[in-house]
Structure 1
């Protein structure tokens, strides 16, 4: 696993030991960021189910100003902190050790908003539609902000998801990626 492009390009990231996490393959990660628009001009990214931190680190490397990482597993947090130590920029990263659903509530209560939210949940515990609704309910998606979920193929998305415009869907082997944008308020 490595950072594909941008400021931190080529840096290798450690993997979380064991089989509790499933890192996004470099080819899939590169495709995901090419779909999002390969580079960013500032903004804040939220990396849910962060694991190694590969998605959030990639977003910061490509121009996001700050990344917040959420994971509840001790081994993932330990690996994530080690990966972030590779970059001499602690002010650009925040790590939260908590279950994703609790972190969504806490971040919402703190008035946090993100321009990009990345989520790669364990395939066995996918609650994508409920979490998309929670992100809006807690006002975490900034106006015009985008959300990207990587899920297993067993997730069936409806043609319309309340509060979002579906920008893109793509399948990669056993994974699918969906990119949505928060709809403008009526």
Structure 2
């Protein structure tokens, strides 16, 4: 994986093969950040990266100037890799090793953008829980956005707060707003 833009543009990051991850493709990530670039000043926002995996999305936000980034993942190896990479690049990414659903119930901190990239083979009900918990617990700022990455075979259009989706190859991003 590589960082698409910003201070660390072009830097390649190689995650250990043993991590249980499926990083967002560079093509999909570039398209997503082109959308976000037209809506937000990255140095003025707070980001929550759920199911952070390799930290791919967190690094992209950090490279573009975001300083308030929290990455949450249940896997110790993923958290360790994100911490090591963030330290090597001097990025301000806070990590939390936790089950995402338990974290969403406990946290009170609001964010401008919440990005969730759960395993594509999740049960549909698990995908439904993400926006439900985010909006029920008021974790999004008024001008904020929840983005859920999923397979094109998963349909989230009927969920409350759903705004729209964008498809890039086999990847799909569903956007949710207040």
Q: TM-score, normalised by structure 1?
A: 0.85
Structure 1 residues 178 and 147, CA gap change in structure 2 (3 angstroms): same
Residue in structure 2 matched with residue 178 of structure 1 by the alignment: 174
The structural deviation recorded for 1:32 is: 0.9
Report how many residues are paired.
174
Give me the CA root mean square deviation: 1.8
Q: Mapping of 1:159-174 within 5 angstroms?
A: 159=158, 161-162=159-160, 164=161, 166=163, 168-174=164-170
Say whether residues 1:68 and 2:70 are aligned partners.
Answer: yes
Residue in structure 2 matched with residue 155 of structure 1 by the alignment: 154
Residue in structure 2 matched with residue 116 of structure 1 by the alignment: 113
Residue in structure 2 matched with residue 82 of structure 1 by the alignment: 84
SS in 2 for 1:86: helix
Q: Distance in 2 between matches of 1:17 and 1:81?
A: 17
Residue in structure 2 matched with residue 46 of structure 1 by the alignment: 48
SS in 1 for 2:42: coil
Residue ranges of structure 1 left out of the alignment (5+ in a row): none
SS in 1 for 2:88: coil
Q: Does the CA-based 8 Å contact 2:156-2:162 persist in structure 1?
A: no
Q: Distance in 2 between matches of 1:130 and 1:176?
A: 18
Q: Distance in 1 between matches of 2:82 and 2:111?
A: 20
Residue in structure 1 matched with residue 20 of structure 2 by the alignment: 20
Residue ranges of structure 2 left out of the alignment (5+ in a row): none
SS in 1 for 2:166: strand
